[in-house]
Structure 1
Amino acid sequence: MKMNGNEIKPGNIIKHQDTLWVAVKCNAVKPGKGGAFNQVELKNLLDGRKLNERFRSAETVERIRLDQKTHTYLYPEGDMLVFMNAENYEQIYLQADFVGDQALYLTDGMEVEVEFYEERPITVALPEQVILTVEETEPVVKGQTSANSFKPATLSNGARTNVPPFVDAGERLVINTNDGSYVKRAD
């Protein structure tokens, strides 16, 4: 699907320089002299490179639509992670580096969204929040009761995060998978 360069918005995936890019930031610029253009910060979906590019309204780019398929996380195998397609039960093997830091939050049976371009996996999206148990944390320091004080804690998946002083070992917490931060106590 073709689109004009001034229509690119953050989150759009485009084909540029024979590879796939996602628009991270877009800024419409109307200089006093010359034609208007769209200053776009792009991130390469395949290798993570960044690029700043100017697109004029007369230029056209190809907008790419990715196929989203629900997969279930099964288990790690060496440095690979095994996922199963929820519809046809086919298994795919992805490098742990491909999933990145979020691989730490994968649990057996977790459903994730895998986006494909021409049958090649491009991204893996985990649920925004997971429930984990606090394995150990420091005791509360007397007098440290201000609203913004936090203490370090180790979670059941081995991750470390900061939690409020009232959280003790053994409690179940809701954790944000994007940055590993404490959200709230689990019900």
Structure 2
Amino acid sequence: MKINANLIRPGNILEHNGRQFSVLKIQIIQPGKGGAFIAVEMRDIRTGTKTNERWRTADTVEKCSVEEKDCTFLFGDDQSLTFMEQETFEQFSVPTDILGESAAFLQDGMAVTVDFVEGSPVSVSLPEKVVMQVVEADPVVKGQTASSSYKPAKLENGLKILVPPFLAAGEKIWVATADCSYVERFKG
């Protein structure tokens, strides 16, 4: 279906030059002279190569129809991740780099949403936030205020994030999967 370029959003699947691309980032640029245009960073679904494209806001682009399926994460390694459809119990694998850094948040049995274009999986959406355990955290510095200062901490999956100074190693926290940031202390 054709849409105006100013309606492109991250996560959309576009068909351009006979290939399908997943939109990663968009930026609307309004130069001092002339009309505004959209700068789009996108990844080729088949090859994984990134490219940048520019369209005027009035241009039309072809948006692919995407089928969303609820799936369960089974297991993974450095190259691929294996999922199972919850309705048909069919298993399929996707390359690990489709998820990028957020692949570290996958846990066995986690419910995810997988987008399919023409029967092929093209993207995986994780829950907005997950519970992770802090395994390393710097000690609290006396006199440090809790309002604006954050300290580095290492999570059980190996990622390093910034957390408030009152958190210690061994505590569980909610972490946003979109930007790997601290949300709040886990109460449970």
Contact 1:135 1:170 in 2 (8 A): yes
1:150 is the counterpart of 2:156: no
> For the structure 1 residues 65 and 27, does the alpha-carbon distance in structure 2 shift closer, same or farther, using more than 3 Å as the test?
farther
Q: 1:182 to 1:2 in 2, by over 3 A?
A: closer
| 1:56, distance to aligned residue in structure 2 (A) | 7.3
Superposition deviation, residue 113 in structure 1: 1.0
* Structure with max Cα Rg: 1
SS of residue in 1 equivalent to 2:142: coil
Task: Tell me the equivalent position of 2:74.
Answer: 74
- Tell me the residue number matched to 1:86: 86
Q: TM-score, normalised by structure 2?
A: 0.82
Aligned to 1:10: 9
| 1:17 shift after superposition | 0.9
When residues 166 and 8 of structure 1 are mapped into structure 2, their CA distance, relative to the original with a 3 A threshold, is closer
2:39 paired residue among 41, 45, 50: 41
Paired residues of 1:113 and 1:125 also in contact (CA < 8 A): yes
Distance 1:149 1:158 in 2: 22
SS in 2 for 1:89: coil
1:151 Cα deviation from its structure 2 partner: 1.6
Could you say what secondary structure the match of 1:97 adopts? helix
Gaps of 5+ in 1: none
Distance 1:132 1:149 in 2: 21
Name 2:26's counterpart in structure 1. Answer: 24
Structure 2 vs 1, CA of residues 96 and 52 (structure 1 numbering), >3 Å: closer, same or farther?
A: closer
1:52 aligned residue: 53
Q: Taking structure 1 as reference, are residues 14 and 28 closer, same or farther at Cα in structure 2, changes over 3 Å only?
A: farther
Cα distance in 1 between the residues matched to 2:140 and 2:181: 19
- Normalised by the length of structure 1, the TM-score is 0.83
Equivalent residue for 1:61?
61
SS of the residue corresponding to residue 99 of structure 2 reads helix
Q: 1:125 to 1:45 in 2, by over 3 A?
A: farther
Alpha carbons 2:115, 2:124 under 8 Å: kept: yes
Q: Provide the rounded CA distance (Å) in 2 between the counterparts of 1:30 and 1:6.
A: 20
CA change 1:30–1:9 in 2 (3 A) is: farther
1:53 Cα deviation (Å)?
2.4
Q: What displacement does 1:14 show?
A: 2.6
SS of residue in 2 equivalent to 1:134: strand
Name the CA shift for 1:8/1:69 in 2 (closer, same or farther; >3 Å).
same
Q: Once the two structures are superposed, what CA deviation does each residue of 1:154-178 show, in whole Å capped at 9, x if it has no partner?
A: 2222222121111112211001112
The answer to whether the Cα contact below 8 Å between 1:6 and 1:28 also exists between their aligned partners in 2 is: no
Q: Write the distance in 2 (CA, Å) between the matches of 1:184 and 1:24.
A: 29
Which letter maps to 1:53?
Answer: R
Alpha-carbon distance, 1:13 to partner? 3.5
**Bigger mean CA deviation after superposition, 21-30 or 83-92:** 21-30
Percent identical: 36
Q: Which residue of 2 aligns with 1:124?
A: 124
Offset at 1:24? 2.0
CA distance in 1, matches of 2:97, 2:151: 29
How many Å separate the matches in 2 of 1:98 and 1:114? 11
